[in-house]
Amino acid sequence: MPSPGEQLSTIVIGAGQAGLSAAHHLRRKGLVPFQDFVVLDANDGPGGAWRHRWDSLTFDRAHGLHSLPGMDLTPPDPTEPASAVVTRYYGDYESAFALPVIRPFKVKTVTGSLANGFTVTSTQGRVLNAASIINATGTWDKPYWPYYPGARDFAGTQLHTRDFVAPEQFPDKRVLVVGGGTSAAQFLLQLASLGIDTLWSTRRPPLWREAPQNKAWGIEVEANVNSRTHSGLVPTSVVSVTGLPLTDFYQDGIDSGVLVSRGGIKSLADHAVTFTDGTTENIDVILWATGFRASLDHLAPLGLREAGGGIFMAEDSVSVSKVPGLFMVGYGASASTIGATRAGRAAAAAAGKLLTRLPEGAGVHG
């Protein structure tokens, strides 16, 4: 643990895919763990947001898990919970590269500037100082709950993706799953497999993608998302850009009628939901699989947000234009695991260039 008042070169906030990737590349650049940089993790153990995923999400149903730099993920039992696989892999990775992770350290605020240095304060009042910040806090702590008329009048159960434990939570219930992403589709199929009565609501018709994922497609997806963040606009949802993969697993769900959307929601009532087509259905449970927003409340003192809520990102897609010395990974196009890995490398490179330009005493030890 750094000494009180000591200024580090870099603080990485978050120990998920992006944060660990950044930490790995900082080490490769010669920064000394616990002397030059640390990684702050709000969790009690490794795994990032993955450690909170429901056990019924097995590894074979987890989309897009990408290996961290320097250590490939050994193919696990596909039926093992993804949370267990990733928690073990991230923990092994931290140990293998002796990454300086401090946990639990939940960041409350980040203040300061490149000129005067940044100060990171935890919810417990612990304070660390650094010349630069790499923010990798992801989205898990910021679930998005859309509002519809009558939402407060709904007398049934409402929960979000992050509250889901297992389909066995809903015996003899009629469940409405709301959202157009892969989590929503997986929830529906799991619930239906236990004989639970389900309905699906999406604002737009589900966008099924038959085209195979390849490098050119991935570059195009990232370019589409980056075009918004480079303009200071709020990133769009991942599924709005990538669509849903039309695998045999999902095709069976479509054919059975489980993965057929009733359309958007117009309003909610006591134990009922009215859809935009004018029909009304009795519902016991609403599972909001409506995604997440970037978890950035701790950065509010830095004044990053534009009028529309977005953040101007530089052309490298990791530097924040308004706040030199602040780098963001896991935001925008780097919200995917492969994008997060690349962004971690880019942020470490950008931070390294910055540190070489700082006055003596503000850069790397030694």
What are the residue ranges spanned by the domains of the chain?
A: 7-141+292-357, 151-207+243-288
pLDDT of residue 365: 47
Least confident of 58-72, 141-155, 301-315: 58-72
Q: What percent of the chain has pLDDT over 90?
A: 58
pLDDT of residue 91: 96
222 compared with 189, residue with greater pLDDT: 189
Q: What's the topology of domain 151-207+243-288?
A: FAD/NAD(P)-binding domain (3.50.50)
CA-CA distance, 171 to 159, in Å (whole number)?
15
pLDDT tens column, 113-160: 999 999 999 999 999 999 999 999 988 899 999 999 999 999 999 999
Asked if the model's pLDDT at residue 254 lies above 90, the reply is yes
Confidence of residue 366 (pLDDT cuts 50, 70, 90): very low
Most confident of 51-55, 241-245, 287-291, 308-312: 287-291
Confidence of residue 44 (pLDDT cuts 50, 70, 90): very high
Tokens representing residue 324 in the block: 């030199």
Asked if the model's pLDDT at residue 362 lies above 80, the reply is no
pLDDT of residue 335: 61
Average pLDDT value for residue range 296-325: 90
Return mean pLDDT, the chain: 87
CB 350 within 8 A of CB 327: yes
The secondary structure of the chain, three-state, reads CCCCCCEEEEEEECCCHHHHHHHHHHHHCCCCECCCEEEECCCCCCCHHHHHCCCCCEHHHCCCCCCECCECCCCCCCCCEHHHHHHHHHHHHHHHCCCCEECCCCEEEEEEECCCEEEEEECCCCEEEEEEEEECCCCCCCECCCCCCCHHHCCCEEEEHHHCCCHHHCCCCEEEEECCCHHHHHHHHHHHHCCCEEEEECCCCCCEECCCCCHHHHHHHHHHHHHHHCCCCCCCCHHHHHCEECCHHHHHHHHHCCCCCCCCEEEECCCEEEECCCCEEECCEEEECCCECCCCHHHHHHCCCCCCCCCCECCCCCEECCCCCEEECCCHHHHCHHHHHHHHHHHHHHHHHHHHHCCCCCCCCC
Residue 11: phi and psi, rounded to 5, are -115, 125
81 compared with 111, residue with greater pLDDT: 111
CB 25 within 8 A of CB 49: no
151-207+243-288 and 7-141+292-357 share a CATH fold? yes
Q: What's the topology of domain 7-141+292-357?
A: FAD/NAD(P)-binding domain (3.50.50)
